[in-house]
Amino acid sequence: MNIKQNVCVVFRGELLRNPLSSYHNNGIGKSVREYDLSEESFTRQNNIMESIITHIIIPYENIGYNVFISGCVYDGHNYNKKLTDFFPNNTITQIKSGKTNQAELFYRSIDHAEKKHPNCIEYISIRADYIMLKNIIRKDLGNLYTGFSWKNNNIPQVDVFFIISKNTINILKNILCNIGNKKKYTHTHSIYRYLQKNKVRLYPIWTNYEDKPTGISYKEYINDIKMHENRPFVNYMRR
C-alpha cells in the first residue's frame, strides 16, 4: 500500500497591505500605513488564496501528496476568518508588524511550519501578497535541494518563492539568522549564494522566464501580457 507523502505551503508576509507603503520591506521599527480595507483589496486577497489552491495545492494533490498550510504573516483585519474560510485546518501564526526584518520573518515562517508539520518532504515558501499565474513544477532531486523561481544573471535573484527540501531546512534557517539577526533592515536576495556555498543543489522551477525583475505589479502585467506571458506569479497587492 502506498503511503502519501506530505508537503507544506508556507505563507510569509502580508496578506492585506496598503499599496502605497513599502510594507513588505518590514524594517524593524518602521512606521507603516494603515491596511487598505477597500472592497477591491479584499477581492484581491480572495484571488490570491484561490490562485494558491489552483496552482500549488491542487497540482501537488493530483500527484498524490498531502498538503498542509502553515507559516507566519502579519496580523491584520479579518485574517483569522479569511484564512479559515480558504484553509480550514491551517496552522498559520500571526505577528505584529514592525518587529522583524524580511529575513527574520522568513525564518519564523519556516521554523513555525516545520514545528507544526515536521514530517513533510518539502516546504513551499511564498510571499503572501503575490498571486500565482502558473502551476508549480517540482523536480525530485534527492535530499538536499532548493527550487527557486527563475534564473537571473544580471539582476537580483527572485526571493518570493522557494521549494525547500526537508534536509535543507536547517541550512536555510542558519543562513536567514546570519543575514537577518537583529538588523533594522535586510533583504533575502542573497540566499542563493549562501545555499550554493553549503552545497545545496539549486534548480529553477520555471525555466522559460529568465532575467526578469521580482516585483512587477499586476497593472504592469496586464498592460503587456505578451511580454510576461510565461511569468509564474506577480505582485497582486501593489497596483
- Give residue-wise pLDDT tens across range 68-111: 999 998 876 666 677 889 999 999 998 887 778 889 999 999 99
Structure confidence at residue 21 (pLDDT): 45
| Structural domain harbouring 84 | 5-235
CB half-sphere exposure, 204, CA atoms < 13 A? 14
C-beta separation of 31 from 187 below 8 A:
no
C-beta separation of 212 from 153 below 8 A:
no
Q: How many Cβ atoms are within 10 Å of 7's Cβ, its own excluded?
A: 22
CATH of the domain at 146: 3.90.550.10
Q: Which three cell numbers stand for residue 177?
A: 539568522
Strand 145-148 relative to strand 201-204, pairing: parallel
C-beta separation of 197 from 220 below 8 A:
no
Calculate Rg over the CA atoms of the chain.
17
Which of the 8 DSSP states describes residue 100?
Answer: -
Show the CA angle centred on residue 107, arms to residues 101 and 108, nearest 5°.
90
Structure confidence at residue 231 (pLDDT): 95
Structure confidence at residue 156 (pLDDT): 85
pLDDT band at residue 23 using 50, 70 and 90 as cut-offs: very low
Q: What is the mean pLDDT of residues 212-228?
A: 88
Report which of residues 99 and 161 the model is more confident about. Answer: 161
Sequence-ordered list of residues with C-beta below 8 angstroms from that of 27, at least 6 positions apart, any chain? 98, 101, 184, 185
Structure confidence at residue 42 (pLDDT): 78
Q: How far apart are CA 128 and CA 11, in angstroms?
A: 6
Choose among 117, 49, 45, 113: nearest CA to 87: 49
Total of domains in the chain: 1
Residues 206-234, buried b or exposed e (16+ Cβ, 10 A)? beebeebebbbebebbeeeeeebeebbbb
Long-range interactions of 56-59: CB distance < 8 A, separation 24+ = 56/9, 56/124, 56/126, 56/132, 56/136, 57/9, 59/135, 59/136
Q: Which three cell numbers stand for residue 70?
A: 502553515
Instruction: Evaluate if residue 49 carries a pLDDT over 50.
Output: yes
Structure confidence at residue 96 (pLDDT): 82
Instruction: Evaluate if residue 26 carries a pLDDT over 50.
Output: no
Q: Starting at the edge strand that comes first in sequence, how are the strands of the sheet with 120-127 ordered? A: 93-95, 65-74, 5-13, 120-127, 161-165, 145-148, 201-204
Instruction: Evaluate if residue 154 carries a pLDDT over 80.
Output: yes
Instruction: Evaluate if residue 155 carries a pLDDT over 80.
Output: yes
Structure confidence at residue 34 (pLDDT): 62
Q: What is the mean pLDDT of residues 181-187?
A: 78
Structure confidence at residue 41 (pLDDT): 76
